[in-house]
Amino acid sequence: MSDGRVSVVSKVAVVTGAGSGVGRAVALELLEAGWSVVLAGRREEALAETARLAGGGPPAPVVPTDVASPQRVEALFAAVRERFGRLDLLFNNAGSFGPRGVALADLAYEDWRSVVDTNLTGAFLCAQAAFRLMRDQEPQGGRIINNGSISAHAPRPDSVAYTATKHAITGLTKSLSLDGRRYRIACGQIDIGNAATEMTERMPAGVPQANGEVAAEPVMDVADVARTVRHMASLPLEANVQFATVMATAMPYIGRG
């Protein structure tokens, strides 16, 4: 019996932040579904581990990239163009939470700037480079999926930098969707809540809540996020999942605060 997968051997994707967490899970899901996937991220060793985990099939190219650097982002997409000649999907995923447990009044400018540079400027730079490639290629078009967050809707305590950038990602998604119409470039956003990754390891032990308490929070399998991204990516360019929220069912988001 078919599992519903569509053969997309000719499709090419870039996944940023592919060395761990959601990025690694999505990269492996796309590779299993037959995509050619370029793995981008800061840590070459972690990217190589993702490539090893993929098992059989053509090796996934590893391109160490700091998404906050315009030069490194330009080099990443130049490598994609040189190797594959086109790009069908960017999963714009690289991100940083920044220092945890630091009150807004005590957040250092350098820490604020680091989160903004990675989460917002990095997402813009990658989207812009992907947009240019998709606009100019034949056949024209492609898809960008931005990793938003539940924090694109509701903040956690002491998370001003992360929350501000994730709200901004929503604006980036909408602008890309509008400006991409004439070039057959679709853009959607996946907002993720409590996927089991390195970033959420502390959830079951308890994290600060809006009412000042510390409480354990449930997590979900990151594979469920990856399958959702694969579905969004598999749609024809005439259809788009504009916003999708995938979360642990019982996490305190609906009614947060």
Alpha-carbon distances, residue 154 vs 45, 176, 179 (angstroms): 34, 22, 27
Give the least confident one: 28-42, 184-198, 205-219.
Answer: 205-219
| Mean pLDDT within 95-113 | 93
Q: Which two tokens stand for residue 80?
A: 């994609």
Model pTM above 0.95: no
Give the least confident one: 23-32, 75-84, 96-105, 128-137.
Answer: 96-105
Q: Name the one residue in this structure whose structure tokens are 């594959």.
A: 84
Which residues are designated catalytic?
A: 162
Q: Name the one residue in this structure whose structure tokens are 């009150």.
A: 103
Residue 122 binned pLDDT confidence (cut-offs 50, 70, 90): very high
Is the pLDDT assigned to residue 257 strictly greater than 70? no
Dist CA 257 CA 254 (whole Å): 9
Residue 12 binned pLDDT confidence (cut-offs 50, 70, 90): very high
> Mean pLDDT for the chain?
92
Q: How many CB atoms lie under 10 A from the CB of residue 74?
A: 15
Per-residue pLDDT of 56-88, as tens digits, reads: 777 899 999 999 999 999 999 999 999 999 999
Phi, psi of 74 (to 5 degrees): -60, -40
CA pseudo-torsion sign 237, 241, 247, 253: positive
Q: Name the one residue in this structure whose structure tokens are 């160490």.
A: 64
